[in-house]
Structure 1
Amino acid sequence: MAGLKIKPLADRVVVEPAPAEEKTASGIIIPDTAKEKPQRGNVVAVGAGKKDEPMTVKEGDTVLYGKFSGTEISIEGKDYLIMRESDIFAIV
């Protein structure tokens, strides 16, 4: 994570989504086509914020966000989401 070569602008953050669940609580294996998109992830990069609105989240925070929030990007073979801080619902 420390080697991520991307710096989001303004109030944007880069989130590494948590891996999707592989099994149900009862042990049933979930196929790739049925896996739900994760709604939790770790913040890996944070922008500087807007003029009168400092950023609340910081690198390393675990956050919850909407199912369809952000834009998917791939950097050096890893998938990330880039989204506005307002798309984040909570810090866990």
Structure 2
Amino acid sequence: MNVRPLADRVLVKIDEVETKSAGGLFIPATAQEKTQTAVVIAVGDDKEKIKVSVGQKVMHDKYAGTQVKINGEDHLILKAGDIIAVIE
């Protein structure tokens, strides 16, 4: 299934969050970091507002966007303004 976001939306694939510490302890979801990372899969057609491109790794707020499942994998559709930073 191909999904193409509209306007100033960006489709990202969620990076897996570490649920285990270096010492082997499990970290509950409530204690994990608030910011999350993801890889940009597709971008909308509003080139003025979207400053990222496909393939870039980005940081976004934990509670931002709409979660969707595409081909059995978790993705998010974010507004371009919800992206906090590009990770280089």
TM-score higher than 0.5 here?
A: yes
1:66 alignment partner in structure 2? 61
Structure number with higher strand proportion: 2
The residue that corresponds to 1:86 in the other structure is: 81
**Any gaps of 5 or more consecutive residues in structure 2?**
none
Unaligned segments of structure 1, at least 5 residues: none
Give the alignment of 1:1-92 within 5 angstroms: 5-30=2-27, 34-35=28-29, 36=32, 39-49=36-46, 53-92=48-87
Percent identity between the aligned chains? 40
Inter-partner Cα distance in structure 2 for 1:25 and 1:85: 33
Amino acid at match of 1:57: V
Q: Return the TM-score normalized by structure 2.
A: 0.83
Count of aligned residue pairs for this structure pair: 84
Q: How has the CA–CA distance of structure 1 residues 40 and 9 changed in structure 2, closer, same or farther, with 3 Å as cutoff?
A: same
Paired with 1:40 and 1:67, the residues of 2 have a C-alpha distance of 9
Scaled by the length of structure 1, the TM-score of the pair is 0.80
CA RMSD of aligned residues (A): 1.8
CA distance in 1: counterparts of 2:75 and 2:51, whole angstroms: 20
Name whichever of 39-48 and 53-62 sits farther off. Answer: 53-62
